[in-house]
Amino acid sequence: MKTPQDPGKRLLTRTEVAQIFGVSPATVTRWGESGKLPSVKTLGGHRRYEAEVVMRLAQQLIKGEARMEHTLLTIPKLYADHHVAAVRQVLTALPGVVDVYASSAWYQVQVTYDPAKLSTSDIIRALEQAGYPPDMRGDGKGEADVLGPPVPDLRRKDPAWDALGVRVTTTHRADVEMSGEFRRY
């Protein structure tokens, strides 16, 4: 008869751990190999992760994210990909910068940083020294809009797409014939 395990001693698969952190299973394996996330190997050679350790790491990451601040800046000179690369390089070199999201389409950059190591004025100063001064008026005309709401995480799928269902597309036969992929295998 199967007995319920102690929740702290429960072992999780890499897929379960990946779902908890919102990463791919390959990332969980890399964490296990690097020692960031201790693992146990089963007799079959599969990795298992203690639930207690996984939850502790998740709580540490949540606490770390809670300390981070976001700054949204409009940069008029951010109109091409080479400018985006230059701005990202300048900002990622600053101590305390965790993430930089830059968009040449919207002329904006969002910086996620640790306020204990860096301030918004330091970020603005670094951008000005690099030749990318932020537009402190926000709309190009009015008052400052330096601290804004964080840009949504574009790496995650918008739940509104789920309401539309599965998108099915078919390739026209003439396109397949012209591409050279019409052979039967």
Quote the CA–CA distance of 33 and 38 in Å, as a whole number.
Answer: 8
The rounded distance, in Å, linking the Cα atoms of 48 and 13 is 5
Tokens of 132: 């990318």
Query: What domains can be seen in the chain, in order of their start residue?
Result: 11-65 (1.10.1660.10), 68-142 (3.30.70.100)
Greater pLDDT, 24 or 86: 86
pLDDT tens digits along 101-112 = 888 888 899 998
* Alpha helix segments (H runs only) across 47-185: 51-67, 81-92, 120-129, 160-164, 173-179
**Which of the two residues, 168 and 90, has the higher pLDDT score?**
90
**What's the chain's average pLDDT?**
77
Q: How far is CA 150 from CA 28, 97, 100, 101, in A?
A: 27, 15, 11, 10
**48-78 pLDDT tens trace:** 988 888 888 888 777 656 678 888 999 998 8
Mean pLDDT score, 89-97: 92
CA angle, residues 31, 32, 34, in degrees to nearest 5: 65
Q: How does pLDDT run across 26-54, given as a tens digit for each residue?
A: 888 888 888 888 888 888 888 898 888 88
Return the number of other C-beta atoms located less than 10 Å from residue 55's C-beta: 14
The reported pTM is: 0.46
**What is the Cα–Cα distance from 78 to 84, expressed in whole angstroms?**
6
Which percentage of the chain shows pLDDT scores above 90? 19
